[in-house]
Amino acid sequence: MRVVDSHLHLWDPQVLEYTWLDGPLAAVFSDEEIVDDALDDVEEDVAIFVQAETVAEQHLAEVRWVDSIALQSGVVAIVAGARLDRGADTEWHLDALRAHERVIGVRHLLQGEPDGFALSDPFLAGARSVASRGWTFDACVHASGISDVTALAAAVPELPIVLDHLGKPHVGTAATPQRPRAEWLRDMAELARHPQVFCKLSGLPAETGGRWTDAQVAPFLDAALESFGPQRLMWGSDWPVSAVAGEFVPGSRQAWLTTVAAWAAAREVDADALFWENALAFYGIR
């Protein structure tokens, strides 16, 4: 099986500043660590780095740092951090990112922004600038923010958008699982009506607290499949965020791959599309 990890984080708090890291996540997760936690029994394994929310002033420095370890880490493309609501500063930043060939998209982390932020005039101007450069946008929101992503997709139909982590639905824990909520199911279906929007099967381990069962997550994967179809889904590990349950748990990345692969086989979903082709097509990687 060929695998594109469509959602890999790397960081080193000794190199860059991250105000959100604490506990076991406040450690080095760089090229050596990802090699040590490599996937097993895959024919080919590459990754797309997704910005790890350094302080905004270091978004360019983060790209330079990832570029410096990309070959060792298996990173073939970068989704860079970018504030899209800053007018001329946004334009300058996007222009500066163009100097880095691995950059194929950006992420302005929306999950901490107020409701409606993605529909503000400054943000929409930045989103249109991203689209004009032929780049993609990673939308990371909590479940309540999926409707804002839908509105963004309607406002900027030329912008390819991928929903990170299935919109972070409430999945409960392995001991007390939850069924998909009606509001989440509705919002996912409405978002999927926009053909330029894809969805990442990623992040659910973090939403469970790092421990899950296949039966617990299957209804959420089923709902994503029903809404988006097999050609607009891609697998991502969300490593190392999804590999921490009180402490770093080696092998969690492999466990999530195994869970999704078993689910896909049971649903007769084309594994090469889900784990390889869809991500490369969405991000325009050749």
Q: Give residue 185's domain range.
A: 2-283
Average pLDDT of the segment spanning 117-142:
98
Contact 111, 140 (CB under 8 A): yes
Q: How confident is the model over 182-201, as a mean pLDDT?
A: 98
Among candidate residues 160, 178, 156, the one with its CA nearest the CA of residue 169: 178
For residue 117, give the CATH number of its domain.
Answer: 3.20.20.140
Q: What is the mean pLDDT of the chain?
A: 97
Phi/psi at 132 (5° precision):
-65, -20
The pLDDT-based confidence of 245 (bands split at 50, 70, 90) is: confident
**199 strand-pairing partners:** 163, 233
User: Residue 286: what pLDDT?
Assistant: 84
Per residue in 46-97, pLDDT (tens digit) is 999 999 999 999 999 999 999 999 999 999 999 999 999 999 999 999 999 9
pLDDT for 246 = 84
State the total domains in the chain: 1
**Is the pTM higher than 0.95?**
yes
Specify the pLDDT at position 259. 98
CA distance 167 to 111: 10
State residue 281's pLDDT score.
98
Sign of the alpha-carbon dihedral angle for 249, 255, 260, 263:
negative
Average pLDDT rounded to a whole number, residues 207-233: 97
Exposure string over 231-249, b if 16+ CB within 10 A, otherwise e: ebbbbbbbbbbbbbbeebb
pLDDT digits (tens, 9 = 90+) for 16-38: 999 999 999 999 999 999 999 99
Question: pLDDT, tens digit, for every residue of 149-186?
Answer: 999 999 999 999 999 999 999 999 999 999 999 999 99
pLDDT level of residue 113 (50, 70, 90 thresholds): very high
Question: Cα 98 vs. chain centroid, distance in angstroms?
Answer: 21
**pLDDT computed for residue 243 by the predictor:** 95
- Please give the pLDDT value at position 124: 98
Q: For residue 113, give the nearest of 83, 89, 151 by alpha carbon.
A: 83
